[in-house]
């Protein structure tokens, strides 16, 4: 909501006490699935009216910027120029009466895979609708689920658009991955009597403080979520403090993702093409991380290969320029394909999508990015599940529980900066027994925390 606002489209911005009351009053559930019980909360307070006014004012102010934002982002990622009708909830519905899962982008869409498998097993005759917000999220959904799911963009969080989306799609159940708490989405689902589940829910202390800026609105939204399936006790406690009424601790769905055998084989083949040399992987790097990483790597032994895989594909060319500016010889994965790597190459740019497991399988040590800068980190579970030693920076607040558990298990080491990262990585590259111990600890760590998909699936209301 407040701390991660995404908006677009059209909206009636007239606001009144009677409109606010409809958000929480029982008659707001008059549409859709009549078998769902109506929620009967107290009338809205002045603070709720104030919070809703601020939120809708923010939507109004940014509305003119939305087409410009899509056009601007489309310069580097052409997918933003496509499917605008879906973002406005226009056109015919690809499916109705589906089990609906919303995953904003790549990480959430991939995390949903074990849950989708469990739900398809439990409800084989129910169609599946997947929504996302980014072109890369859509591409991920199409590659993983395109054979059986209907995939569209979710409209931005305007009341008119969300109500139209619910009328068109008529989903039976909605599952929101991680922390997709959008007030108008939740309100429209309540009006249509679509029960909502917050799955793989996580909420860092920083995010909790952001939601707490509009406390009445946060509480009203969470009160309308039928089930909250939280990753950890800390996440459940923060969500409950904000207003969740049914929070269950079920673990992290990402532990249930099995490394694809084809990707492991691909990584082994790459390693043969790269030659007998130590390989350090910098996975899911974010803006501001590559430059200090490359500077620290310049002094590394010449036989060490650094593989850099940026988190966002629109940055591939930018990162290629950064590597060139560092003076290090480099090649691009897209250009090398399956050919042998030049022995003089110091850096390989991983400019490909959907191959992260293969990169993990091909490396000796993995640094998981987004953690050298205050960006919250990325998912280290995948690297551990392949049995690779993991290094992370100091900023992992979006993955704090998983990172803490990995460090405690001996599967990961936390470093303070790029220089310390390189020092730790080179030490591990020269110590095969230490790498083996960390790799085995990572495999045990990943296996020990599996089972969240079955627990979440059991909490989902029957479609």
CATH of the domain at 76: 3.40.50.11720
Q: What angle do CA 243, 176, 112 make, to 5 degrees?
A: 135
1 with 217: CB under 8 angstroms? yes
- For 24, the domain range is 17-250
> What is the model's pLDDT at position 25?
37
Q: What angle do CA 282, 283, 284 make, to 5 degrees?
A: 130
Task: Verify that 196 and 75 share a domain, yes or no.
Answer: yes
Torsion 271-264-201-214 (CA) sign: positive
Task: Verify that 429 and 320 share a domain, yes or no.
Answer: yes
> For the chain, how many residues are written?
463
Task: Verify that 38 and 182 share a domain, yes or no.
Answer: yes
Task: Verify that 189 and 322 share a domain, yes or no.
Answer: no
Q: How many domains are there within the chain?
A: 2
Strands 128-132 and 150-153: parallel
| Last residue in a domain, options 250, 270, 296 | 250
Examine residue 2 and state whether it is found in any structural domain, yes or no: no
Say if residue 454 is exposed, middle or buried (CB neighbours under 10 Å; 0-12, 13-18, 19+).
middle
401 with 234: CB under 8 angstroms? yes
Task: Verify that 242 and 273 share a domain, yes or no.
Answer: no
Task: Verify that 359 and 231 share a domain, yes or no.
Answer: no
Task: Verify that 232 and 141 share a domain, yes or no.
Answer: yes
Give yes or no: 108 in active site.
yes
Of 98, 189, 195, nearest to 152 by C-alpha is 98
| Last residue in a domain, options 215, 250, 285 | 250
Task: Verify that 293 and 188 share a domain, yes or no.
Answer: no
Residue where the block lists tokens 């099995």? 258
Examine residue 148 and state whether it is found in any structural domain, yes or no: yes
CATH number of the domain encompassing residue 354: 3.40.50.2000
CA 239 from chain center: how many Å?
A: 18
Q: How far apart are CA 153 and CA 148, in angstroms?
A: 17
Examine residue 459 and state whether it is found in any structural domain, yes or no: no
Neighbours of 391 (CB within 10 A): 25
Residue 138 half-sphere exposure toward CB, CA atoms < 13 A: 17
3-class DSSP state of 284: strand
Examine residue 454 and state whether it is found in any structural domain, yes or no: no
| Last residue in a domain, options 206, 228, 250 | 250
Which residues fall within 8 angstroms of residue 271, CB to CB, at 6 or more apart? Answer: 279, 361, 362
Q: How far apart are CA 20 and CA 185, in angstroms?
A: 15
Examine residue 6 and state whether it is found in any structural domain, yes or no: no
> What is the model's pLDDT at position 463?
79
Q: Which of 108, 180, 400, 401 is catalytic?
A: 108
Examine residue 456 and state whether it is found in any structural domain, yes or no: no
Task: Verify that 246 and 279 share a domain, yes or no.
Answer: no
Residue where the block lists tokens 């207003």? 243
26 with 39: CB under 8 angstroms? yes
Averaged pLDDT, groups of 10, the chain, 463 residues long: 38 34 35 48 79 93 94 91 95 93 94 96 96 95 95 96 96 94 95 96 91 93 95 95 94 96 96 95 97 97 97 94 97 90 96 94 98 95 97 95 96 98 98 98 97 96 85
Task: Verify that 172 and 275 share a domain, yes or no.
Answer: no
Examine residue 352 and state whether it is found in any structural domain, yes or no: yes
Token code pair at residue 411? 């599967």
Examine residue 166 and state whether it is found in any structural domain, yes or no: yes
Task: Verify that 152 and 287 share a domain, yes or no.
Answer: no
Q: How far apart are CA 184 and CA 159, in angstroms?
A: 5
Token code pair at residue 368? 């998981």
Task: Verify that 57 and 198 share a domain, yes or no.
Answer: yes
């Amino acid at each position: 909501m407040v701390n991660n606002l995404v908006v677009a489209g059209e909206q009636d911005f007239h606001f009144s006490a009677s409109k606010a009351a409809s958000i929480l009053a029982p008659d707001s559930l008059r549409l859709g699935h009549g078998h769902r019980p109506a929620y009967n909360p107290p009338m809205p307070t002045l603070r709720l009216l104030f919070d809703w006014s601020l939120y809708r004012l923010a939507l109004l102010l940014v509305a003119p910027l939305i087409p410009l934002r899509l056009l601007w982002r489309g310069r580097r990622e052409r997918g933003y120029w496509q499917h605008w009708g879906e973002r406005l909830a226009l056109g015919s519905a690809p499916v109705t009466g589906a089990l609906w899962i919303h995953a904003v982008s790549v990480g959430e869409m991939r995390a949903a895979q074990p849950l989708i498998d469990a739900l398809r097993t439990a409800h084989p005759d129910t169609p599946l609708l997947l929504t996302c917000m980014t072109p890369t999220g859509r591409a991920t959904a199409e590659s993983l689920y395109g054979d059986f799911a209907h995939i569209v963009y979710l409209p931005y969080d305007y009341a008119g658009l969300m109500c139209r989306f619910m009328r068109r799609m008529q989903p039976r159940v909605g599952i929101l991955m991680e922390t997709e708490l959008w007030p108008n989405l939740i309100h429209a689902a309540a009006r249509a009597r679509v029960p909502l589940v917050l799955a793989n829910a996580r909420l860092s202390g920083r995010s909790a403080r952001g939601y707490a800026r509009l406390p009445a609105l946060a509480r009203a939204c969470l009160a309308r979520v039928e089930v909250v399936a939280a990753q950890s006790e800390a996440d459940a406690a923060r969500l409950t403090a904000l207003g969740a009424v049914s929070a269950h601790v079920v673990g992290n769905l990402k532990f249930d993702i099995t490394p694809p055998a084809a990707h492991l084989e691909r990584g082994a083949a790459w390693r043969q093409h790269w030659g007998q040399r130590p390989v350090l992987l910098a996975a899911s790097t974010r803006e501001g991380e590559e430059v200090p990483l490359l500077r620290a790597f310049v002094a590394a032994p010449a036989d060490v290969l650094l593989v850099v895989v940026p988190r966002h594909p629109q940055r591939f060319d930018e990162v290629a320029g950064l590597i060139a500016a560092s003076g290090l010889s480099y090649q691009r994965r897209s250009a090398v394909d399956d050919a042998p790597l030049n022995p003089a190459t110091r850096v390989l740019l991983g400019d490909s999508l959907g191959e992260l497991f293969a990169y993990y399988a091909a490396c000796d040590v993995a640094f998981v990015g987004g953690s050298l800068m205050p960006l919250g980190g990325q998912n280290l579970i995948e690297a551990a599940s392949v049995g690779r030693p993991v290094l992370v920076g100091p900023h992992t607040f979006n993955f704090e529980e998983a990172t803490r558990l990995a460090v405690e298990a001996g599967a990961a080491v936390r470093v303070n900066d790029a220089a310390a990262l390189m020092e730790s990585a080179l030490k591990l590259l020269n110590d095969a027994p230490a790498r083996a111990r960390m790799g085995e600890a990572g495999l045990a760590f990943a296996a020990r925390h599996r089972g969240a998909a079955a627990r979440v699936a059991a909490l989902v209301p029957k479609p």
